[in-house]
Amino acid sequence: MDKSQNIFEKACRLMPGGVSSPVRAYRAVGMTPRFIERAKGSHIYDVDGHDYIDYIGSWGPMLLGHANPEVAEAVCQVVYRGTSYGAPTEGEVTLCEMLIDAMPSVEMVRLVNSGTEAVMSAIRAARGYTGRDYIVKFEGCYHGHSDGLLVKAGSGLMTQNVPDSAGVPEAYASKTLTAVYNDLDSVKALFEACGEQIAALIVEPVAANMGVVLPKPGFLEGLRKITEDYGSILIFDEVITGFRLGYSGAQGHYKVLPDMTAMGKIIGGGMPLAAYGGRKEIMEMVAPSGPVYQAGTLSGNPAAVAAGVKTLEILKAHPEIYTQAEMQAEKLEKAFLENIEKYHVDAVCNRAGSLMSIFFTKQPVTDYPSAASSDLERFKEYFAVMLAEDIYIAPSQFEALFVSGVHSDEDIRKTETAIGKALGQWQA
């Protein structure tokens, strides 16, 4: 802990909160973040020499585990030929073809650098296409930090109890309407009130930024129907679910096709890369084909593209990676449920494939209010034991636990033991 502590103290003098992204700062758990030196497979190592089993996986991208040798090699090959040209490369075309091939609703794609940019740009395209201003989002869903989307936006914001962000003009936020996840009536009410002015509805098809919350049967289908009825664009934010719930994302899994899709995380294989895509007629609104401006100096960066292409190639050739990740996740879910029962802990576990969350609350978690009913003190105590047992999980109640395709049986056994200790700690 000494080195992490020292570096963090210096970092806090130089960087806001000592970090480059808020949830890394461990504020919700009242601890010092671990500074990371390296990672390999399912393990991550801090500067003090601790060896942790990693269930953050860079917050989603590392489905193949850290430092996959084929991905690393693909990146290195490119780097020696130059890291950025500001000109088109064949790799981008290959990656876009793979994304279109994988995602059932996507016909045309633009590459960007972050999920934030992907969503922000998808919304701009949807507004350009429909000529309307309003968007609808769900309370507790996170879609990156662009101005209009920092309204009731989950995880990082939930963790710090900042319902909205300072610095967002009222005029932007007022164009964002919020509905309740899994509650179609709340959506209908908004569309009945002003459906003709709604450009787009955006949703995480499996919510994973208020902890993992699954869509109820019929919810996504209902959103498809309502948006269609009003001529609004349905946007799936698949930045987490894309290539995670399966190679065809949540849209393939639930067989509901949005008009537009935002992608990120896994598609960059751990490099800064994201994308948005959708129906051709909407995507053709984007510059230089159409009047919706969107650009990027480093967009389609060749090193990031190489990591993305190799990652998707591996996932496509090895569908058993999904089976493996989900099987290991199922074991952890079972360990959670058994220990919840054994120790009479007020907690529930939600899981979608290799994504899951334990919530310290009695009620089923189906939306933001039920997620927010969690006992955060309990979470803190649970987190502290897990970390002491070398289990590296997100330092927040409102994040997912990410299982990779390379978590070994031994990793799982150790984690099961840690879960037993963490959930047993409140016994007299």
Ligand X SMILES: *Cc1c(COP(=O)(O)O)cnc(C)c1O
Q: Which is nearer to ligand X, 240 or 329 (CB)?
A: 240
Does the protein bind ligand X through residue 242 (CB under 6 A)?
A: no
Q: Which two tokens stand for residue 242?
A: 């894309």
Specify the stretch interacting with ligand X by CB under 6 A; choose among 82-90, 226-234, 235-243, 251-259: 235-243
At 403 the three-state DSSP class reads: coil
Contact flag: residue 152 with ligand X (CB under 6 A): no
Name which of 105 and 114 has its Cβ closer to ligand X: 114
Q: Is residue 142 flagged as an active site residue?
A: yes
- Residue (144 or 195) nearer to ligand X, CB: 144
Q: At what angle do helices 184-194 and 219-230 cross, to 10 degrees?
A: 10
Least separation in angstroms between CB 134 and ligand X:
20
**Nearest CB to ligand X, comparing residues 140 and 264:** 264
DSSP helix/strand/coil, 49: coil
> Could you check whether the bond before residue 205 is cis, i.e. omega within 30 degrees of 0?
no
Residue whose pair of structure tokens reads 């480093």 in the numeric block = 298
| Min dist. Cβ of residue 22 to ligand X (A) | 11
Q: What is the DSSP string of 340-388?
A: HHHTT---EEEEETTEEEEE-SSS---SHHHHHTS-HHHHHHHHHHHHH
User: Among 240, 257, 286, 309, which residue sits at the site for ligand X (rule: CB under 6 A)?
Assistant: 240
Shortest Å distance, C-beta 116 to ligand X: 3
The residue range among 36-44, 97-105, 195-203, 237-245 that interacts with ligand X, by the rule CB under 6 A, is 237-245
Beta bridge partners, 426, equal none
CA distance 306 to 362: 45
**Active-site residue, from 52, 54, 134, 237:** 237
Give the residue, chosen from 274, 321, 345, 394, that forms a contact with ligand X under the rule CB under 6 A: 274
The Cα 142–Cα 138 span in angstroms is 9
Among the options 137, 152, 175, 265, which is catalytic? 265
CA–CA gap between residue 20 and residue 266 (Å, rounded): 20
Question: Residue 400, Cα to own-chain centre: how many angstroms?
Answer: 8
Q: What is the C-alpha separation between 361 and 154, in angstroms, rounded?
A: 17
**Closest residue to bound ligand X by CB:** 115
The CB-of-400 to ligand X minimum distance in angstroms stands at 9
Closest to ligand X by CB, 155 or 370: 155
List beta partners, residue 176. 135
Q: Tell me whether residue 172 is one of the annotated catalytic residues.
A: no
| Whether 265 is catalytic | yes
Which residue's CB is nearer to ligand X, number 152 or number 378? Answer: 152
264 binds ligand X (CB under 6 A): yes
- The 8-class DSSP code of residue 33 comes to P
Q: Which of 4, 89, 105, 116 binds ligand X (CB under 6 A)?
A: 116
- Helix (H, G, I), strand (E, B), or coil: what is residue 142? coil
Q: How far apart are CA 149 and CA 13, in angstroms?
A: 30
x-or-dash string of contact with ligand X, 118-147, rule CB under 6 A:
-x----------------------xxx---
The residue to which tokens 């948005």 are assigned: 276
- Residues lying near ligand X in the complex (CB under 6 A) are found at 114-116, 119, 142-144, 204, 209, 237, 239-240, 264, 274
Active-site positions?
142, 237, 265
